């Protein structure tokens, strides 16, 4: 039975059609105080959803939908390692990567907690040998720079977290510069390599499948560069200038990593859920293992909250349900993630993969085409910069867009120089002022301005754009871990209600195959006539080397 046939879905549909769809959020505020009823706290995060177009009845009905869809049972299945990724016959156990060492989780033959902590110890060994300067390149020089080669989940998470946690570098260890290269066209490597010394550079080849052509292409170029720059053999370079991170141990052996330089994880870790595993090596190198463990503990705190908190106070459950309400009942199919802290600049891109690769699906777990909308289009940018770019559309365009505002309350306390600290604190205050002002205007429209007088048509703001605001005390490993886990679990809740598998990504596979076919034609110049007329002509232009 489709979720749309349940009494809870029908009740929500009636509730939307006979009232809430036409309600302006400002009129909900006019009815009385909302913050206490429509905000919750957990795992160090505050979620204010009072600016969403919901009443108490809406929330009750959404919770009934969650119960009818079996969200509580699904959470238990996720956490205990049931094979909920049915199309790949696997568990989805990213939560196990955050379990403390004294916990227990046996899944089939595997003592998961023991394996996870052994893998963390392995990571720590390599991080330490870089931090204490022991790791030497093939010519005997200490490593100064590390480049993470990976794409998708093997790039976005490490890049986002290492950027967000700038300032958490451990004291008293050798500083290592960390770089990221993901794009198949080689742009980042072409920019970075001229600034690096091959004798002192180490590459982390991060690929869950060890079959992603984008990462292989970057690794091939790195090998050429290291070979030419050091004059050593490929075998020597592979053994000394590369760490491999993958679930595919045989493929890592075959490629030529030294056994001691291989970091392993398991097929029950989805790529977009993998920053907590050895895929997070670049993070651990940047912030040190103690801080990496703090990141894990923050995510674990959110896991515990998700697992044990009744649905009505459960942050990821409520957050997920609000998304369902906007997407399926208010027809708002666009979600903007707007951090008001420049350190979170890669968060929208990271959440884009997390949500859209997880829930961008149209077939249910029973193989039926869905008769409702699933994942909205997620996009975003650092909020204050977005204000000077695309907020115009949010304020006066024709699209309804739901917004997530994200901000820390405190910033810059660590700056010693008083004058500079105060100046930066003023900047942070300005960012917060803008954050709160924007969510207010998006909700109220012109009513946000007192004594507005006559308003010409071009200065009219309709308002009624729903938003949630997430506040944390400060950006730190724990709060960032909890924030990421909040979105992971929100995605899970939505996947359960939409009855889709949030943990596979078959939609990207066809594109990979067809790209190989196109590359064969580009490389050989043969077979172009077998393609459609557009692709045929485009490739002919490339083969001719010019457009005219």
Residues that bind ligand F6P (CB under 6 A): 151-154, 207-209, 212, 215, 271-272, 357, 505, 508
Closer to ligand F6P by Cβ: residue 152 or 383: 152
Catalytic residue among 199, 357, 478, 488: 357
Report the C-alpha gap between 173 and 106 in whole angstroms: 37
Beta carbon of residue 271, minimum distance to ligand F6P (angstroms, whole number): 3
The verdict on whether 357 is a catalytic residue reads yes
Beta carbon of residue 209, minimum distance to ligand F6P (angstroms, whole number): 3
Alpha-carbon Rg for the chain in angstroms:
25
In three-state form (DSSP H/G/I as H, E/B as E, the rest C), the secondary structure along 103-116 is CCCEECCEEHHHHH
Beta carbon of residue 274, minimum distance to ligand F6P (angstroms, whole number): 7
Residue 181, SS3? strand
Closer to ligand F6P by Cβ: residue 242 or 329: 242
Is the CB of residue 155 less than 8 Å from the CB of residue 346?
Answer: no
Closer to ligand F6P by Cβ: residue 433 or 515: 515
Residue 42's DSSP bridge partners are 45
Catalytic residue among 512, 517, 537, 541: 512
Is the CB of residue 213 less than 8 Å from the CB of residue 512?
Answer: yes
Beta carbon of residue 154, minimum distance to ligand F6P (angstroms, whole number): 4
Report the C-alpha gap between 46 and 53 in whole angstroms: 19
Beta carbon of residue 272, minimum distance to ligand F6P (angstroms, whole number): 5
Beta carbon of residue 431, minimum distance to ligand F6P (angstroms, whole number): 31
Closer to ligand F6P by Cβ: residue 153 or 158: 153
In three-state form (DSSP H/G/I as H, E/B as E, the rest C), the secondary structure along 288-309 is HHHHHHHHHHHHHHHHHHHHHC
Tokens of 156: 């976005």
CB atoms within 10 A of CB 191: 11
The verdict on whether 72 is a catalytic residue reads no
Catalytic residue among 18, 235, 308, 388: 388
Closer to ligand F6P by Cβ: residue 14 or 220: 220
Beta carbon of residue 282, minimum distance to ligand F6P (angstroms, whole number): 14
Closer to ligand F6P by Cβ: residue 393 or 508: 508
Segments in 445-525 forming alpha helices (H): 477-498, 509-524
CB within 8 Å of 203: residues ≥ 6 apart: 146, 147, 148, 149, 219, 222, 226, 241, 242, 243
Beta carbon of residue 355, minimum distance to ligand F6P (angstroms, whole number): 13
Q: Starting at the edge strand that comes first in sequence, how are the strands of the sheet with 467-472 ordered?
A: 39-42, 45-48, 467-472, 402-408, 334-339, 377-380
Beta carbon of residue 485, minimum distance to ligand F6P (angstroms, whole number): 18
Closer to ligand F6P by Cβ: residue 8 or 275: 275
CB within 8 Å of 97: residues ≥ 6 apart: 116, 269, 276, 277, 296
Residue 111's DSSP bridge partners are 106
> Which of 18, 11, 69 minimizes the C-alpha distance to 311?
69
Compute, in degrees rounded to 10, the torsion defined by CA atoms 470, 401, 16, 322: -30
Strands (E), 198-286: 201-206, 242-246, 262-264
CB atoms within 10 A of CB 526: 9
The verdict on whether 512 is a catalytic residue reads yes
For the chain, the residue count is 548
Residue 206's DSSP bridge partners are 245
Beta carbon of residue 245, minimum distance to ligand F6P (angstroms, whole number): 9
> Which of 300, 307, 297 minimizes the C-alpha distance to 476?
297
CB within 8 Å of 210: residues ≥ 6 apart: 244, 246, 247, 248, 251, 252, 255
Return the residue matching tokens 């871990």.
481
Closer to ligand F6P by Cβ: residue 37 or 220: 220
Tokens of 508: 């990207």
Q: Which residues are catalytic?
A: 357, 388, 512
């Amino acid at each position: 039975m489709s979720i749309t046939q349940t009494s809870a879905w029908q009740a929500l549909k009636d509730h939307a059609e006979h009232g809430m769809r036409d309600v302006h959020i400002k009129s909900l505020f006019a009815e009385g105080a909302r913050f206490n009823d429509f905000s919750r706290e957990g795992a160090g995060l505050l979620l204010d959803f009072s600016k969403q177009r919901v009443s108490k009845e809406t929330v009750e009905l959404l919770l009934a939908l969650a119960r009818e869809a079996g969200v509580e049972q699904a959470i238990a299945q996720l956490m205990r390692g049931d094979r909920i990724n049915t199309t790949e016959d696997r568990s989805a156990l990213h939560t196990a990567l955050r379990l403390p060492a004294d916990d227990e989780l046996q899944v089939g033959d595997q003592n998961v907690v023991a394996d996870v902590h052994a893998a963390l110890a392995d990571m720590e060994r390599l991080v330490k040998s870089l931090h204490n300067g022991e790791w030497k390149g093939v010519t005997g020089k200490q490593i100064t720079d590390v480049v993470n080669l990976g794409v998708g989940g093997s790039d976005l998470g490490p890049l986002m977290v290492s950027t967000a946690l700038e300032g958490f570098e451990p004291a008293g260890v050798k500083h290592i510069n960390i770089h990221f290269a993901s794009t198949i066209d080689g742009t980042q490597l072409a920019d970075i390599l001229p600034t690096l010394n091959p004798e002192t550079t180490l590459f982390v080849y991060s690929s869950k499948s060890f079959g992603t052509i984008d990462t292989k292409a970057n690794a091939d170029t790195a090998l050429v560069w290291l070979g030419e720059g050091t004059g050593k053999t490929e075998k020597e370079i592979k053994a000394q200038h590369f760490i491999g991170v993958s679930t595919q141990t045989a493929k890592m052996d075959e490629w030529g990593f030294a056994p001691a330089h291989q970091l392993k994880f398991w097929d029950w870790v989805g790529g977009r859920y993998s920053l907590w595993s050895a895929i997070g090596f670049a993070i651990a190198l940047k912030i040190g293992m103690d801080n990496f463990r703090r990141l894990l503990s923050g995510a674990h705190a959110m896991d515990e909250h998700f697992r044990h908190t009744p649905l009505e106070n459960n942050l990821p459950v409520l957050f997920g349900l609000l998304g369902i309400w906007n997407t399926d009942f208010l027809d708002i199919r666009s979600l903007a993630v707007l951090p008001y802290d420049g350190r979170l600049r890669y968060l929208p891109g990271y959440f884009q993969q997390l949500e859209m690769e997880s829930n961008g699906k149209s077939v249910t777990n029973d193989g039926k085409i869905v008769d409702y909308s699933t994942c909205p289009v997620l996009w975003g940018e650092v909020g204050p910069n977005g204000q000077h770019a695309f907020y115009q559309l949010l304020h006066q365009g024709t699209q309804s867009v739901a917004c997530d505002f994200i901000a820390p309350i405190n910033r810059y306390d660590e700056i010693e120089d008083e004058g500079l600290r105060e100046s930066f604190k003023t900047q942070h205050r300005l960012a917060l002022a803008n954050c709160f002002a924007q969510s207010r205007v998006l909700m109220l429209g012109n009513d946000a301005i007192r004594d507005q007088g006559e308003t010409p048509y071009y200065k009219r703001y309709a308002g009624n754009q729903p938003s949630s605001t997430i506040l944390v005390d400060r950006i730190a490993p724990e709060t960032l871990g909890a924030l990421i886990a909040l979105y992971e679990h929100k995605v899970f809740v939505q996947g359960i209600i939409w009855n889709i598998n949030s943990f596979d990504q078959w939609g990207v596979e066809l594109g990979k195959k067809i790209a190989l076919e196109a590359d064969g034609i580009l490389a050989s110049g043969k077979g172009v006539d077998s393609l459609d007329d557009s692709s045929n002509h485009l490739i002919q232009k490339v083969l001719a080397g010019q457009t005219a």
